[in-house]
């Protein structure tokens, strides 16, 4: 169990890490962007060498502004809703990059700092300032969009993994609830037989051992063979037959192809158990339980009904569909199956309490 849980955790971590941006991604992104920009402006200026030099100067500035924005300014001011402060600092950063880029271009590359402009530009004009600042803002915004999108994907993946882990944990808890509840009632049966010094006690203990073997292995799996689940039901009913003797009449019908069909382990047993707990044990006189299990194509049609005890006060839990057993089944269906894959009906009809389940198997 520990190994399986650890493997699931590693798989979930791997799913989240696929959105992690590493140094390799940074290098690849900026390298591609540098080559693209160099070729683009080399074509505009008809001077590839000039474009290469200006981009060699410009890209460190692009990167500094972009990383300042996504790793410092946004976390400290945007995420804390200090929007005015953020806007002012961005404008200040743009002015700093403007003067830095102008001086580096003027003294290291060419005094004509804007050859694509309508006229010779060797000073910081309004047109030059607007063009350069918009260019820097464009690069910073582009990188920010990539970062925000990646962060959203990672957080969404983490949330999805967390929901899956919570569902898995809850399902394990619900499955673990079945075993103590089931054993408690069965041990009570054995206790009653030993008090009576019944010769049936060895047979009951043997069947109980078979049930224990099933529970030990079946509840570890997410799905179990339908045939194994029905065998477990048969063992449980046999135990109850011994307990109630002739006062209990049980009619069982199993039809259809059970091969290659699977079901959540111990899902049906609480429905059987409910009949005995809230029906047979509360009833005075003859008791009837009818069980019909039919498999057609990919669906299981499970129907069980039991006589409603004359004392309705004792039957409130059963008739309202409450109690540990039925509540457990409802919750496990909600967590383990899609809504379109099952239909559970609980109702009373002609002094009988009915539970009908249609389930994709």
Which CATH number is 217's domain given? 3.30.565.10
Asked if residue 32 belongs to a domain, the reply is: yes
136 in any annotated domain: yes
CA distance 285 to 128: 99
Residue 124 and residue 202 share a domain: no
Task: Quote the pLDDT of residue 330.
Answer: 87
For residue 188, being part of any structural domain is answered with no
Q: Looking at residue 3, what is its pLDDT? A: 38
Domain interval for residue 105 = 2-161
Residue 177: partners with Cβ closer than 8 Å, 6 or more residues away = 324, 328
| Helices 226-244, 126-195: crossing angle, 10 deg rounding | 30
Q: Decide if 347 is inside a domain.
A: yes
Q: Are residues 231 and 354 in the same domain?
A: yes
- Gap between the Cα atoms of 12 and 30, Å rounded: 30
Is residue 6 situated within a structural domain?
Answer: yes
In a domain, 299, yes or no: yes
pLDDT at 88: 95
Is 217 within the bounds of a domain?
yes
Both 204 and 347 in a single domain? yes
Do 229 and 344 belong to one domain?
Answer: yes
Distance CA 91, CA 83 (A): 12
pLDDT value of position 1: 42
Do residues 31 and 155 both lie within one domain? yes
Q: Tell me, yes or no, whether 223 and 317 share the same domain.
A: yes
> Is 224 found in the same domain as 125?
no
| pLDDT of amino acid 64 | 92
Same domain, residue pair 253 and 299: yes
| Total domains, the chain | 2
Q: Do 12 and 106 share a structural domain? A: yes
Q: Does one domain contain both 293 and 356?
A: yes
Residue where a domain terminates, one of 161, 181, 206: 161
Looking at the fold, whether 7 and 153 belong to one and the same domain comes out as yes
Mean pLDDT in order along the chain per 10 residues (361 residues)? 44 56 86 88 81 88 92 91 93 93 89 81 89 89 89 81 65 57 70 77 80 72 84 82 71 89 86 73 65 91 85 48 70 85 90 91 85
Predicted confidence at residue 4, as pLDDT, reads 44
Q: Is residue 191 part of a domain?
A: no
Decide: 50 and 110 in contact? Cβ < 8 Å: yes
| pTM for the model | 0.52
């Amino acid at each position: 169990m520990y190994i399986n849980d650890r493997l699931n955790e590693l798989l979930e971590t791997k799913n989240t890490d696929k959105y992690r941006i590493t140094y390799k991604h940074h290098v690849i992104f900026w390298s591609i962007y540098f080559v693209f920009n160099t070729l683009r402006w080399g074509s505009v200026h008809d001077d590839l060498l000039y474009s290469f030099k200006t981009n060699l100067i410009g890209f460190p500035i692009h990167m500094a502004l972009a990383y300042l924005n996504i790793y410092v300014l946004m976390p400290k001011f945007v995420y804390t809703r200090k929007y005015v402060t953020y806007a002012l600092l961005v404008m200040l950063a743009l002015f700093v990059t403007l003067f830095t880029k102008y001086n580096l271009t003027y003294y290291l590359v060419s005094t004509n700092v804007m050859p694509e402009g309508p006229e010779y530009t060797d000073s910081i004009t309004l047109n030059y300032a607007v063009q350069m600042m918009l260019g820097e803002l464009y690069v910073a915004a582009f990188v920010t969009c990539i970062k925000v999108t990646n962060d959203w994907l990672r957080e969404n993946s983490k949330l999805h993994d967390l929901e899956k882990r919570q569902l898995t944990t809850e399902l394990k808890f619900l499955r673990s609830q079945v075993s103590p509840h089931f054993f408690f009632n069965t041990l009570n049966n054995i206790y009653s037989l030993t008090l009576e010094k019944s010769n049936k006690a060895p047979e009951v203990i043997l069947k109980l051992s078979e049930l224990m073997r099933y529970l030990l292995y079946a509840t570890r799996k997410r799905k179990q063979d339908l045939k194994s689940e029905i065998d477990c039901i048969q063992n449980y009913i046999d135990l109850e037959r011994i307990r109630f003797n002739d006062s209990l009449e049980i009619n069982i019908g199993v039809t259809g192809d059970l091969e290659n069909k699977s079901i959540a382990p111990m899902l049906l047993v609480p429905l059987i158990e409910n009949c005995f707990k809230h029906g047979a044990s509360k009833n005075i006189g003859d008791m009837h339980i009818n069980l019909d299990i039919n498999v057609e194509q990919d669906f299981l049609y499970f129907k069980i009904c039991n006589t409603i005890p004359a004392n309705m006060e004792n039957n409130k839990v059963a008739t309202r569909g409450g109690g540990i057993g039925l509540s457990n089944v409802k919750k496990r269906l909600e967590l383990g199956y899609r809504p379109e894959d099952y239909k559970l009906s609980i109702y009373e009809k002609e002094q009988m309490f009915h539970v009908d389940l249609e389930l994709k198997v």
